[in-house]
Amino acid sequence: MEKPWKNYIYAFFITATIFATAFYLGNYFSDRKIDELRATENRIALDILSAETQFALLGELSCPEAQNSVLSRELDSLGEKLDYSEEKFGAGNPEVVALKKQYSLLEIKDYMLIKKLKDCPKQPITILYFYADDCRDCEKEGHVLTYLREQYPELRVYSFDYNLDLSALKTLAQIYGIGGKFPALVIKNKSYQGFKKVEELEALLPELKIATSTPNVSETKR
Amino acid sequence: MDQLSNLTLYATFFFALYFEVFMLVNFFEKRSSLKTEEARTLSVFPSITIIVPVFNEENTVTKTVFSLLKLDYPKDKLKIIIVDDGSTDRTPTVIKRFRSQRRVEIIRKSNGGKYTALNAGLAVTTTDLVGCLDADSFVPPDTLKKIIPYFENEKTMAVTPAIKIHRPDGFIRHVQSNEYNLGIFMKKCFSIIGAITVTPGPFSIFRKSVFDNLGLFREAHNTEDLEIAMRMQKNLYRITNAHTAVVYTTGPATLHQLYRQRVRWIQGFLSNTIDYRSVFFKREYGHLGLFALPAAIISIILFFVSIIMILRNVFNTIGNKIIEIQSVGLRWHWPKFEFDWFFLNTDSKVFLSIVLFSATIILIMYGRKISEKKTGLSIHTLYFPFVYAFLSIIWLSRAVYATAFSKETRWR
């Protein structure tokens, strides 16, 4: 009985080669994405450093310059990409964790700069948002904040993963007494623990509606 | 849990891809001998009987029998036996018109099931070769001449044809048409490795000695054509596939009929495989016991596990959407059309899916090419893998459930 047993081996090698190629391609593109994230973070870091230097030189920043140099829009999209990477490459991926730490630092720096812009006519409205693992309400709060950010472009939301091992972040949390219950929000230097609905946040930040004259807000269905 | 789901999906990908690659490797190795097979011509014409079992087939039986009468084969060598298995419609009247034909014999018996009709035909068969043709199928004139040369090899005990859907119309038949083309390629590969597990009702031809030595057709969970092939394999009888010998079958027109047919087939396959489980992992049964049958069982298991994983993902997505609606209410906003390659899924699973999809398309195209020498890609082939995977969930689940709890299948 002559049987082509060797074909089992051939087929195995061909299949293994296809698999190796697929893994290679998958890794190649993940690396490219990580590179892109890193490049974006470096660019933002440079912008912030430049703004900080300006501040140190002049003792204060002029409003338009600050609005140009502090780029929370880019921070937003970076945040989205980081979320996506966490989901795709795994939250434990060391590259992703490192990028997330740097991102958190950039957020803190951006927040500090914004706070210095006291006398600008169009003062940015900020929310600090702390979330933790295994927190069902955090998922809901995330949706609420995303929605608010889409509705009110002036709003800047800085989100922090409380479980991230980063001392600057621990200090920030300490300042506002964050630690027990999540989600936790800091609005106008006051901290709020537990889930807050869209309406509750809108009530806490009445200036949102004044700043944004979007007529369709009242039309949105509930 | 995510690790487990990833691992299962990769295992499924590897297995499916390995199976298709193995088939292609065997096919390309024997490709040159396919040409020699196709070039053979007949010098001797052995005598043959074709049994047509009919039960309430007043609309199709005429076409079936006429196609047999028109076969390009010496008239004195070809006999046709129509066995009416107690039809209750106009079938007896319809088949009366063939009484005048000297080559046609009509047997009427009380209803007892398809296998009893075939056995009634076998009982009066005197020729060396015997075949059957279901009354929902018909043959082009040259088909028999393409099958008979395979019997010049004395070890060949049965030959199966290439079954096609005749002029597919409608969605359900287009899906089947692609499925049958894929089947043509697979059958040829199984034939090359000696692992054919079905001698289908439409125009499989046997040596009469198969039935003399191994016994007649059995009820076999309503799939007598599977059982006889397994019995032959068990006795190391060779079954070959004639990939150019085309037979046309009609194929169910509605999803419900198709579902019934498939549940019967798969349940029959599973039940007969269980009956012949002694073939598994035995060296003497070659690729059948070591590869083809275990592969079929493994693929069914992996298929289900993958489905569970995919459903879990779907439920997760729905769950997330519900959480979103709970938190901000149902608010309509225009989807953003900003393209950013970053959010393009570049997972290795995506590349593997593309390879697997292309391989399936290639197998279907080869099936079409070797049977009717036609190339080209139809739009129906492109959507087939998706539709078929979805449909398979339905009938595979039902068939596995029914086999596990021994439910009866129905013919129609």
Strands of the B104-109 sheet, one edge to the other: B104-109, B78-85, B48-54, B129-132, B205-207, B156-165, B238-249, B137-138
**Residue A62 pLDDT > 90:** no
Q: What pLDDT, on a 0 to 100 scale, did the predictor assign at position B210?
A: 96
pLDDT at B90: 93
Of A15, A29, A136, the CB nearest to B18: A15
Asked if the structure places residue A135 within a domain, the reply is: yes
pTM of the model: 0.84
- At residue B262 the predicted structure's pLDDT band, cuts being 50, 70 and 90, is very high
Residue A68 has pLDDT above 70, yes or no: no
- Which residues of A are less than 8 Å from B347 in CB distance? 26, 88
Which chain B residues have a beta carbon less than 8 Å from that of A15? 14, 17-18, 21
Overall domain count for chain A: 2
Structural domain contains residue A4: no
Query: Higher pLDDT residue, A10 or A88?
Result: A10
Which residue, A120, A149, A177, sits at the end of a domain? A120
Asked which of A195-199, B51-55, B233-237, B357-361 is least confident by mean pLDDT, the reply is A195-199
- On whether both A111 and A149 belong to a single domain, the answer is no
Tell whether B342 is within 8 A of chain A (Cβ).
yes
pLDDT at A220: 39
Name the closest residue on chain A to residue B340, using Cα atoms.
A81
Instruction: Check residue B242 and give its pLDDT.
Output: 95
Does residue A216 surpass a pLDDT of 70? no
pLDDT band at A214 (very low <50, low <70, confident <90, very high): very low
Summarize the confidence of residues A174-182 as an average pLDDT.
87
Among A14, A26, A141, whose Cβ lies nearest the Cβ of B351? Answer: A26
d(CA B35, CA B40): 9
Asked if residue A217 is part of any domain, the answer here is no
Confidence category of residue A139, pLDDT binned at 50, 70, 90: confident
Residue A72 lies in a domain: yes
Taking CB atoms and an 8 Å cutoff, what residues of chain A touch B333? Answer: 150
**Across residues B331-339, what is the average pLDDT?**
64
Which residues in chain B are closer than 8 Å to A144, comparing Cβ atoms?
A: 327-328
Model pLDDT, residue B70: 95
Indicate whether B337 pLDDT > 80: no
Q: Answer yes or no: do A18 and A109 share one domain.
A: yes
Which pLDDT band, with edges at 50, 70 and 90, does B411 fall under? Answer: low
Interface of A with B (CB under 8 A): 1, 3-4, 7-8, 10-12, 14-15, 18-19, 21-23, 25-27, 29-30, 33, 36, 81, 84, 88, 136, 139-141, 143-144, 147, 150, 197-198, 220-222
Beta carbons within 8 Å of A190's beta carbon, 6+ residues apart:
none
Q: Are A92 and A194 found together in one domain?
A: no
- The whole-number pLDDT of residue A219 equals 40
Is the same domain home to A130 and A115? no
In tens, the pLDDT along B275-306 reads 999 999 988 898 999 999 999 999 999 888 88
Mean per-residue pLDDT of chain A: 82
Which residues in chain A have Cβ-Cβ distances shorter than 8 Å to B11? none
- Please check whether residue B332 touches A, CB under 8 A: yes
Is residue A217 predicted with pLDDT exceeding 50? no
A131 CB neighbours in chain B (<8 A) are none
What number is the average pLDDT over the span A178-202?
A: 88
Instruction: Please report, for the domain that includes residue A157, its CATH number.
Output: 3.40.30.10
pLDDT digits over B21-37, tens only? 999 999 999 888 888 88
Supply the range of the domain harboring residue A189.
Answer: 124-212
CB contact under 8 A, B331 and A222: yes
**How confident is the model at residue B65, as a pLDDT?**
95
B252 touches chain A (CB under 8 A): no
Query: Are A15 and B21 in contact (CB < 8 Å)?
Result: yes
A2 in a domain, yes or no? no
Average pLDDT over residues A11-35: 94
Residue in B1, B10, B334, B348 to test binding to A, most A beta-carbons within 10 Å: B348
Residue B333 has pLDDT above 80, yes or no: no
Q: Of B328, B341, B366, B377, whose CA–CA distance to B184 is shortest? A: B366
Confidence of residue A121 (pLDDT cuts 50, 70, 90): low
pLDDT confidence of residue B412: 59
At B39, the pLDDT band (50, 70, 90 cuts) reads: confident
Check residues A114 and A118 and name the one with the higher pLDDT: A114
The pLDDT of B313-325, averaged and rounded, is 87
pLDDT in tens, A161-171: 998 999 999 99
Look at A143 and B193 and tell me if their CB atoms are within 8 Å.
no
Q: Characterize the bridge pairing of strands A125-131 and A155-161.
A: parallel
Q: Return mean pLDDT, chain B.
A: 91
- More confident of the two residues A208 and B165: B165
> In angstroms, what separates the C-alpha of A131 from chain B's closest C-alpha?
16
How many other C-beta atoms are found inside a 10 Å radius of the C-beta of residue B207? 20
Distance between CA atoms of B124 and A203, rounded to whole angstroms? 93
Question: Tell me: the pLDDT tens digits for B89-112?
Answer: 999 999 999 988 899 999 999 999
Whether residue A17 sits in one domain with residue A58: yes
Q: Is the pLDDT of residue A2 over 60?
A: no
- Residues of A in Cβ contact (< 8 Å) with B346: 25-26, 29-30, 33
Among B215-229, B327-341, B344-358, which is the least confidently predicted range? B327-341
For chain B, give the percent of residues with pLDDT over 90.
69
Same structural domain for residues A101 and A14? yes
Looking at the domain assignment, is residue A220 inside a domain?
no
A80/chain B closest Cα distance in angstroms: 10
B17: contact with A, CB 8 A cutoff: yes
A3 part of a folded domain = no
Last residue in a domain, options A63, A90, A120: A120
Number of Cβ pairs < 8 A linking chain A and chain B: 94
Query: pLDDT at residue B223 above 50?
Result: yes
Q: Are residues A199 and A159 in the same domain?
A: yes
Residue A188 reports pLDDT greater than 90:
no
pLDDT at A221: 39
Q: Based on the domain organization, do A48 and A115 belong to the same domain?
A: yes
A222 domain residue, yes or no: no
Residue A198 to residue B329, Cβ atoms within 8 A: yes
| Contact between B348 and A27 using a beta-carbon 8 Å cutoff | yes
Mean pLDDT for B377-401 is 90
The 3-class SS string of chain B reads CHHHHHHHHHHHHHHHHHHHHHHHHHHHHCHHHHHHHHHCCCCCCCCEEEEEEECCCCCCHHHHHHHHHCCCCCHHHEEEEEEEECCCCCHHHHHHHHHHCCCEEEEEECCCCHHHHHHHHHHCCCCCEEEECCCCEECCCCHHHHHHHHHHCCCEEEEEEEEEECCCCHHHHHHHHHHHHHHHHHHHHHHHCCCCCCCCCCCCEEEHHHHHHHCCCCCHHHCHHHHHHHHHHHCCCEEEEEEEEEEEECCCCCHHHHHHHHHHHHHHHHHHHHHCHHHCCCHHHHHHHHHHHHHHHHHHHHHHHHHHHHHHHHHHHHHHHHHHHHHHCCCCCCCCCCCCHHHCCCCHHHHHHHHHHHHHHHHHHHHHHHHHCCCCCCHHHHHHHHHHHHHHHHHHHHHHHHHHCCCCCCCC
One domain for residues A98 and A152: no
Choose among B327, B328, B348: nearest Cβ to A25.
B348
Burial of B93-120, coded b for 16+ CB within 10 Å and e otherwise, reads ebbeebeeeebbbbbeeeeebbbbbbbb
Residues of chain A contacting B352 with CB distance shorter than 8 Å: 18-19, 22
Beta-carbon separation of A18 and B324 below 8 A: no
Query: Which tops the pLDDT comparison, B211 or A6?
Result: B211
Of A154 and B88, the structure prediction assigns the larger pLDDT to B88
Same domain, A26 and A69: yes
Residue in chain A closest to B28 (alpha carbons) equals A7
pLDDT at A218: 41
Hey, which residues 275-314 in chain B have their CB within 8 Å of chain A? Answer: 284, 286-287, 291
Same domain as A138, residue A113: no
Domain's final residue, options A60, A91, A120:
A120
Residues A110 and A43 in one domain: yes
> pLDDT-based confidence at A222, cuts 50/70/90?
very low
Determine which of A6-15, A147-156, B64-73 has the lowest per-residue pLDDT on average.
A147-156
pLDDT at B402 over 50: yes
